[in-house]
Chain A
């Protein structure tokens, strides 16, 4: 059982922190296995129907919306508080590190395992011995300063190399708080909304009254071999009170940014409207536009465009199915009327020019006899799904992330060494006593320290 004198001690304890880490990890992991309301509300509905007992229990515990529920936010907040507290305590302890008698303290407590120590005999007076040693260490990147007062262990010089390493801990820990603060700022002052807009239309941006987003042109390109999109982008204009505020292209990885609001290219599709189609009829290319029948020489045949399906498919009961809003299998619905005969409704498929279907008055589809025409292209009216996002917390998040990186570099890639040096008068000169501590632990530093002391013995001890 945990028993701590003060809440501060409890928050600082390793057991508590590991428990907190574990709780965050466990809750986060659960959220990846069960559907989450923020991400896929429809899947949550399905899950609740499929699990009538477990589902409501998980929902009541907030596990179907883990990352946005209060207790999860409380865990993150607790982590932030804990981080600030631990860092503050560490900074206080750091101030005490340089107090007189600190080597004795390190020696007795062994904060990093077993501290290292050595003795060198120098045939000069203590002041001269210290001065020589200082020069020797200075050439090797150590910075030295005398210890004030009269330390009980006799230390007179404190020497440090890569002292910045200590700040790595502080910077890294506080950067986490800054990142969390950025997330809080976003949730309080930021917004994100989906703005679907068709070509040639404008749509209001709800979170920015007066703004409307107009889509002039949507461009989509496909890979020839797979048919997968290789590029999709929107040419946009942002209007405010009838005047153009900004304009430009928004593509994936390259959003349009206006006054801190960024318009991301999120999705796209074809709604079933077209500006026109191109048919090849008896060797000639014909442009057909909606609502205007095309009559052919002699008036024997007229063709009119009735509709368009971006992703044509057949249902089990032989009706046309609009499978998706992507241009997966574009098909057009045409009315063919020959002079003196009843008109026929047919479907032509762009990707399968040899196949045509005929639609009866009840809407049923059947294969049609070969026609002397094929569908070459569809100029579909596309709609673009844009995500309008405003995130005033992002600079904080980015700053925190950079600080974290710097902190990590300092903390783990710098090697801090501290040497406590005392010079004691001895017959024939001075005995210099050196104690050492390393941020990488005594074992990792031992070889380097022994080499350093051996060199010091040769150079200073002459």
Chain B
């Protein structure tokens, strides 16, 4: 119960932080940015404590000991929100753009609010013993690496959105305050590429780890399960983006649309496929 309350408080902080990100985008002054980071830091801290409590409860089952509790939909969404926020803070800390919060943090909020919504349902935050198939050290690596990749790619999606907004602003004859807040199109385009260049290898390595796990658990590296297939489609879509950018020199809107298609595949792989997949259907509650 304490875990849920802490997580709800963290979600509230993320929501306020996101709101402040929008305020910073549209108004002059630096205070919005500072407060956004303060709220995010408090939210992340509460979130970490909540996640720590969940791990403690999860480990009360001897079979679950030393595994991360990302086997349930609530656990996975909560971890996703934390990963998204952490990657955002890293990107923002490195590039000091300030405005990314309005474009990236909504995704962290979607994940956190989704987890809160899931928690309200029957058995939402309940913890159970892991099925034998998930009792493997890969359980700590494979999902975590993939979710880290998803978080980086979500940040790239946010940067792509910012690029589209900036392009619209630049083209319009009366650009708003936002136009001066947003970095140049070239800078955003480059950041979008850099994030995908970081996220794509992590994504593919996560998929490979899944293959190695599948080989030790089921005897095959690849089985064309819906989740596996969609992760391949996601990887191919980002590979197409990278080829278009590096070989055909695509820049700007066209490249962003391609990367956005990749992110749509990420969302479908993370959420939608759980209702198609028999082997990876843990998130759907099966």
Looking at B108-116, B156-164, B205-213, the stretch in contact with chain A turns out to be: B205-213
Return A245 CB to nearest CB of chain B, in Å.
19
The answer on a CB contact under 8 Å between B131 and A229 is: yes
Return B237 CB to nearest CB of chain A, in Å.
7
Within 8 Å CB of A29, what residues of B?
229-230, 233
The answer on a CB contact under 8 Å between B128 and A253 is: no
**1/0 contact trace for A253-274 toward B, CB 8 Å?**
1110000001011100000000
Instruction: Please tell me which one of the listed residues A14, A22, A253 contacts residue B247 in the complex, with CB atoms under 8 A apart.
Output: A14
Within 8 Å CB of A61, what residues of B?
none
A contact residues, total (Cβ < 8 Å): 55
The reply on A31 being an interface residue by CB < 8 A is: yes
Looking at B14-22, B47-55, B75-83, B194-202, the stretch in contact with chain A turns out to be: B194-202
The reply on B90 being an interface residue by CB < 8 A is: no
The answer on a CB contact under 8 Å between A401 and B132 is: no
Looking at B99-107, B167-175, B217-225, the stretch in contact with chain A turns out to be: B217-225
Known contacts A14-B247, A32-B276, A413-B201: does B239 contact A21 (CB below 8 Å)? yes
The reply on A24 being an interface residue by CB < 8 A is: yes
Return A27 CB to nearest CB of chain B, in Å.
10
The reply on A296 being an interface residue by CB < 8 A is: no
The reply on A441 being an interface residue by CB < 8 A is: yes
Known contacts A252-B135, A253-B135: does B236 contact A24 (CB below 8 Å)? yes
Within 8 Å CB of A36, what residues of B?
224
Tell me the B233-275 residues at the A interface (CB within 8 Å).
Answer: 233, 236-237, 239-240, 243-244, 247-249, 273
Within 8 Å CB of A230, what residues of B?
63, 129-132
Instruction: Please tell me which one of the listed residues B221, B230, B273 contacts residue A394 in the complex, with CB atoms under 8 A apart.
Output: B221
Return B127 CB to nearest CB of chain A, in Å.
10
Known contacts A14-B243, A25-B236, A412-B201: does B194 contact A440 (CB below 8 Å)? yes
Within 8 Å CB of B219, what residues of A?
192, 255, 262, 264, 387, 389, 391
Return A122 CB to nearest CB of chain B, in Å.
33
Tell me the B123-182 residues at the A interface (CB within 8 Å).
Answer: 128-133, 135-136
Q: CA A228 – CA B286 in complex, angstroms?
A: 12
B contact residues, total (Cβ < 8 Å): 50
Return B222 CB to nearest CB of chain A, in Å.
7
Q: Which residue of A lies closest to B227 (CB)?
A: A32
Return B81 CB to nearest CB of chain A, in Å.
26
Q: Which residue of B lies closest to A397 (CB)?
A: B221
The reply on B282 being an interface residue by CB < 8 A is: no
The answer on a CB contact under 8 Å between A412 and B200 is: yes
Looking at A49-57, A311-319, A336-344, A402-410, the stretch in contact with chain B turns out to be: A402-410
Q: CA A443 – CA B194 in complex, angstroms?
A: 12
Q: Which of A192, A253, A264, A387 has the most CB of B within 10 A?
A: A253
The reply on A189 being an interface residue by CB < 8 A is: no
The answer on a CB contact under 8 Å between B230 and A444 is: no
**1/0 contact trace for A213-254 toward B, CB 8 Å?**
000000000010110111110000000000000000001111
The answer on a CB contact under 8 Å between A14 and B248 is: yes
Within 8 Å CB of A251, what residues of B?
132
Q: Which residue of A lies closest to B203 (CB)?
A: A408
Q: CA A397 – CA B204 in complex, angstroms?
A: 14
Q: CA A228 – CA B248 in complex, angstroms?
A: 53
The reply on A183 being an interface residue by CB < 8 A is: yes
Within 8 Å CB of B226, what residues of A?
32
Q: CA A386 – CA B239 in complex, angstroms?
A: 38
Return B200 CB to nearest CB of chain A, in Å.
7
Within 8 Å CB of B27, what residues of A?
none
Q: CA A263 – CA B128 in complex, angstroms?
A: 28
The answer on a CB contact under 8 Å between B204 and A404 is: yes
Tell me the A118-166 residues at the B interface (CB within 8 Å).
Answer: none
Return B58 CB to nearest CB of chain A, in Å.
13
Instruction: Please tell me which one of the listed residues A18, A33, A113, A252 contacts residue B243 in the complex, with CB atoms under 8 A apart.
Output: A18
Return B239 CB to nearest CB of chain A, in Å.
7
The reply on B232 being an interface residue by CB < 8 A is: yes
The answer on a CB contact under 8 Å between A252 and B198 is: no
Q: CA A410 – CA B244 in complex, angstroms?
A: 20
Instruction: Please tell me which one of the listed residues B128, B190, B217, B218 contacts residue A228 in the complex, with CB atoms under 8 A apart.
Output: B128
The answer on a CB contact under 8 Å between A67 and B224 is: yes
Q: Which residue of A lies closest to B184 (CB)?
A: A443
Q: CA A38 – CA B220 in complex, angstroms?
A: 14
The answer on a CB contact under 8 Å between A226 and B128 is: yes
Q: Which residue of A lies closest to B205 (CB)?
A: A405
Return A234 CB to nearest CB of chain B, in Å.
12
Return B242 CB to nearest CB of chain A, in Å.
9
Return B247 CB to nearest CB of chain A, in Å.
5
Tell me the B47-95 residues at the A interface (CB within 8 Å).
Answer: 61, 63
The reply on A17 being an interface residue by CB < 8 A is: yes
Q: CA A412 – CA B204 in complex, angstroms?
A: 13
Q: CA A82 – CA B208 in complex, angstroms?
A: 22
Return B155 CB to nearest CB of chain A, in Å.
16
The answer on a CB contact under 8 Å between B133 and A443 is: no
Within 8 Å CB of B205, what residues of A?
405, 408
Q: CA A391 – CA B222 in complex, angstroms?
A: 12
**1/0 contact trace for A179-199 toward B, CB 8 Å?**
000110000000010000000
The answer on a CB contact under 8 Å between B220 and A253 is: no
Within 8 Å CB of A444, what residues of B?
190, 194
Within 8 Å CB of B198, what residues of A?
412-413
The reply on B28 being an interface residue by CB < 8 A is: no
- A selection of 5 A-B contacts at a CB cut-off of 8 Å is A14-B247, A21-B237, A253-B132, A253-B135, A264-B219
Given A262-B219, A387-B219, A405-B208, 8 more pairs with CB closer than 8 A: A28-B229, A67-B229, A229-B132, A230-B63, A252-B132, A253-B136, A394-B215, A404-B208
Hey, which bits of chain B sit against chain A, CB under 8 A?
61, 63, 128-133, 135-136, 186-187, 190, 193-194, 197-198, 200-201, 204-205, 208, 211-213, 215-222, 224, 226, 229-230, 232-233, 236-237, 239-240, 243-244, 247-249, 273, 276
Hey, which bits of chain A sit against chain B, CB under 8 A?
14, 17-18, 21-22, 24-25, 28-29, 31-33, 36, 38-39, 67, 113, 182-183, 192, 223, 225-226, 228-232, 251-255, 262, 264-266, 387, 389, 391, 394, 397-398, 401, 404-405, 408-409, 411-413, 440-441, 443-444
Which 6 A-B pairs rank lowest in CB-CB distance, beginning with the nearest? A408-B201, A389-B219, A252-B132, A32-B226, A223-B129, A14-B248
